[in-house]
Structure 1
């Protein structure tokens, strides 16, 4: 069965905005989620264009076969500051998100995508463009905030340090047409932490490839 647009005999075209994906950038929860989602959407006939950070020179793509991969620099602070430290992350990630969001927005304006799907803070950059350019609102925007650890940290110093990050995170997801909760237990956390209208929150569990796990 092929996933096609209901009004056109062509595949659905998805812009997948993420920071990293397995195996290009190693292991990690979101990395594996983006990998499996891309892998199986592609098998269903969906044309997925991945927007991710530039991989290392020796990175392997494995069986990850999206329609296309667009890469952008993520690390703007190294070697002066660790790229994923509390401060480094709040410098690198918003810049990266803004750049991929606007790059994807240009292609949406040209009619290249039917759906935009963001992971984590990657919602922020596209949300800015979508709020500014009315044409972008005609294309569905789905955002997946995942664990939102920056909202849950018990460390008061870290919680204060991440204040700007949380504001960008919340803003990005409030601009989406639908926001994904990965399970029923965290469904209420999205309106609580991100102030998203509960009517726009849907539960879609992150898929697990049972055969691969075995």
Structure 2
């Protein structure tokens, strides 16, 4: 394989890859694209308008499809945003089929079915990172394109797709450790992420109140109704909302707190907030769901049964006693972007050489729960 590759990265058409991030997937693509560029590769990003990466980029929705009045009036007319997503990815994949020499590798991070469904028609080697458990449209596409080369962000996610794909490699998401420096810690608790029901910020509030500690919240209000009904009434007193912070400010907040509460009510495919917290030296108190136990390990936090708020409150206190140096070491050994880039580089080499995708850890390994 050549030292320098031309890599096309396909991301979301709806959300810009820019700070402050809409979610963990956008943050991951932002960091991955920068890391690959710093490693000397020529990277082109296909993403939503407003992405701020210092690489060549194309707006997936730069030419929005506007259906005619006749098409709009048809009973089959879907939501306009869904139709524009379809048009954007269809246009992109057709361009890949028509220009096979433009890139050495295509790395798909979108959650849309079209890049997978049309992948077999593209001559350029392509790999898809699965960031979620099975969704109906994506599962349909992968069922019809069984030769699609995929990796998963956790062993949990790999297992959730095994009924369609069998065993697939795992590449854990990595964080740029220098952007998440070790902080001094403190007595406060912190919760950060998107304010949507499945992230469970309301349960973190309950746990903090039962522990009698101040909780500092940060992240985008992605579900206004959820925030107004289940978060806003608790603000004031021990619960503070710090806003939707840029990465530097978020890292400083997390590093200044004693424990991060991670309280999802669904099985997190990975749990980027856990890796980011560990990088800051801040231990975590978590519901043991999805891929989270793979990141936490034995000595960087306390895992409790899903939904058990009393146990989470006790875990928050217990986590405060963990040596922050051990927490940072866990991040350095298991959550670094250097390890992630090394694994993806091996995968790109396999793709270019026409070999089966390898270079990633096995999904069969067991993890503490």
Which category of TM-score, normalised to the shorter sequence, fits these structures?
A: 0.5 to 0.7
- SS of 2:86's partner is helix
Q: CA deviation at 1:132?
A: 3.6
Please give the alpha-carbon distance, in whole angstroms, between the structure 2 residues aligned to 1:173 and 1:33. Answer: 26
**Structure 2 residue ranges without an equivalent (≥5):** 67-71, 73-77, 182-369
- SS of 1:34's partner is helix
Aligned twin of 1:204: 171
- SS of 1:188's partner is helix
TM-score normalised over the length of structure 2: 0.40
Q: CA deviation at 1:71?
A: 1.3
Residues 183 and 132 of structure 1, relative CA distance in 2, 3 Å threshold: closer
**Aligned pairs, number:** 169
- Check whether the contact 2:117–2:144 (CA below 8 A) recurs between aligned residues: yes
Aligned twin of 2:54: 65
- SS of 1:180's partner is strand
Question: What whole-Å deviation, never above 9, does each CA across 1:7-28 have from its counterpart, x for those lacking one?
Answer: x4x6111111111443178431
Please give the alpha-carbon distance, in whole angstroms, between the structure 2 residues aligned to 1:88 and 1:28. Answer: 23
TM-score normalised over the length of structure 1: 0.65
Aligned twin of 1:39: 34
Residues 52 and 91 of structure 1, relative CA distance in 2, 3 Å threshold: same
Question: What whole-Å deviation, never above 9, does each CA across 1:141-182 have from its counterpart, x for those lacking one?
Answer: 11012023x64xxxxxxxxxxx4x3455535863422x1111
Residues 93 and 14 of structure 1, relative CA distance in 2, 3 Å threshold: same
Among 17, 40, 47, the residue aligned to 2:10? 17
Among 92, 96, 104, the residue aligned to 1:100? 92
- Which protein is bigger by CA-based radius of gyration? 2
Alignment of 1:1-214 (within 5 A): 6=1, 8=2, 11-19=4-12, 20-23=15-18, 26-53=21-48, 55=49, 59=50, 61=52, 64-66=53-55, 68-73=56-61, 90-107=82-99, 109=100, 111-122=101-112, 124-125=114-115, 127-128=117-118, 130-132=119-121, 136=123, 139-148=124-133, 151=135, 163=136, 165-171=137-143, 174-177=146-149, 179-192=150-163, 195-198=164-167, 201-214=168-181
Q: CA deviation at 1:127?
A: 4.0
Q: CA deviation at 1:205?
A: 0.6
**Structure 1 residue ranges without an equivalent (≥5):** 1-5, 81-85, 152-162
